[in-house]
Chain A
Amino acid sequence: MIPVDESRRKFLGTTAAAAGALALGPGVMLYSYAEAKAGSGAGERTIRWGMLVDTTKCASGCTACVDACNTEHNIAPAKLPTDVQWIRKVELKDERTGAVHSMPVMCQHCAEPPCVDVCPTGASFKRADGIVMVDRHTCIGCRYCMMACPYKARSFVHEPTTNKSSVAPRGKGCVESCTMCVHRVDKGGTPACVEACSDAGHRAIIFGDLNDPNSEIAKRVKAATTTQLRADLRTDNGVRYQGL
């Protein structure tokens, strides 16, 4: 792990952002992508992996993304609230208009992740390409990150595991969450949920590099109004929602 001088990097980051961002008024920005800052290690510093969920295309009752995630990461379908779950379907209802939205919620891969801030061992970290995850070799199972996460995206493994898979090592006593399928992404692939959603004919989730102006995701978030969940917390999520 390469230690970085975060204060210097943050200073350079804000100066650049202040110069580049389009301001509507004091403190009101149209777009602000904090650059993916390296937590540690190598990897592509210019990339920021993200996902766009189009809630108008997400079918109520469809669980293709959840099922695919479970299969990919060797997770038994959750029965108890304490069971491992990396992605879940949420139904949102606007009480005034009656409008209902169905959508998947998983780790939002924040640029300013609260889970990383509170982790006492550095196990919660952000890769250079913006993916937030737990290094389970350093996780001591304290679960501060689960308390800090505004999206309840993390799970704790309460029981010993059997039937292991080499894709998703898992053991009692550690916290885990969506890794945006790093093992696929590192080989040029697409996360399992995105693939399954597309196979189911919905194409409600797309994946790509938010920093690459030619990527589909960058074009879509440029052209349409998209939102970050709990944008008020200014965690600058890598997962965005359209149609909310």
Chain B
Amino acid sequence: MAAPALAKPPVLDKAKGEKCVEETSVMRKRHMDFLKHQRDDTVHGGIRGAKHSLAGCVECHANARDGAVLGSSQHFCQGCHEYAAVKLDCFDCHTSHTKSAQASQKRGVPR
């Protein structure tokens, strides 16, 4: 059987701002570690709005039109994870939309 050709690297939505919360090369490899560390600091230690906040990633990395990090293979978190065959459960609970995109969605009906 012939080996499948490598898929082309994904083209992702451009982020807001000049640079990421850490060096881009570091983020590429270690963002999941930062997130899990932040998660414990916030939930157990009450530290909020810190640099590695998940809500923070979404604010900068959301698509300019729909304000989301998921939705298509161009959307930031989805695009790369599809390419790398990574499956997340974070967004089963966490919103994939920026604050302003949430506000324009229908409110108050969680299901």
Contact surface of A with B, Cβ cutoff 8 Å: 1, 39-43, 70-71, 74-76, 84, 125, 127, 129, 133, 135-137, 159-166, 169-172, 174, 182-183, 185-187
CA distance A68 to B54 in the complex (A): 25
Contact B94 A164, beta carbon cutoff 8 Å: yes
Residues of chain B within 8 A (CB-CB) of A166 are 55, 58, 94-95, 99, 102
Contact A169 B95, beta carbon cutoff 8 Å: yes
CA distance A165 to B110 in the complex (A): 9
Contact status of A74 and B108, CB under 8 A, knowing A40-B44, A186-B48: yes
**Cβ of B47 under 8 Å from chain A:** yes
Contact B46 A42, beta carbon cutoff 8 Å: yes
A selection of 22 A-B contacts at a CB cut-off of 8 Å is: A41-B40, A41-B41, A41-B44, A71-B108, A74-B108, A75-B110, A76-B109, A135-B43, A135-B44, A160-B111, A161-B111, A163-B106, A164-B95, A164-B102, A164-B110, A166-B55, A166-B58, A169-B93, A169-B94, A171-B89, A171-B92, A186-B46
Interface contacts (Cβ under 8 Å), in number, total: 84
Please give 8 more A-B residue pairs, beta carbons under 8 A apart, in addition to A41-B40, A164-B95: A41-B44, A71-B108, A129-B46, A135-B44, A163-B106, A166-B102, A183-B48, A187-B48
Residues of chain A within 8 A (CB-CB) of B25 are none
CA distance A42 to B40 in the complex (A): 10
Residues of chain A within 8 A (CB-CB) of B55 are 166
Residues of chain B within 8 A (CB-CB) of A169 are 93-95
**Cβ of B39 under 8 Å from chain A:** yes
Of A125, A160, A162, the residue contacting B44 (CB under 8 A) is A125
**Cβ of B45 under 8 Å from chain A:** yes
CA distance A203 to B51 in the complex (A): 37
Contact A76 B108, beta carbon cutoff 8 Å: yes
Nearest residue (CB) in B for A40 is B44
Residues of chain B within 8 A (CB-CB) of A161 are 92-93, 110-111
Residues of chain A within 8 A (CB-CB) of B109 are 76, 163
Nearest residue (CB) in A for B49 is A187
Contact B93 A163, beta carbon cutoff 8 Å: no
Contact B106 A160, beta carbon cutoff 8 Å: no
Q: Digit string of B50-76 for contact with A (CB within 8 Å is 1, else 0)?
A: 000001001000000000000000000
Nearest residue (CB) in A for B94 is A169
Give the top 3 A-B pairs by smallest Cβ distance, nearest first.
A41-B44, A171-B93, A164-B95
Residues of chain A within 8 A (CB-CB) of B108 are 70-71, 74, 76
Contact A170 B93, beta carbon cutoff 8 Å: yes
Q: Digit string of B82-111 for contact with A (CB within 8 Å is 1, else 0)?
A: 000000010011111101001001111111
CA distance A75 to B99 in the complex (A): 18
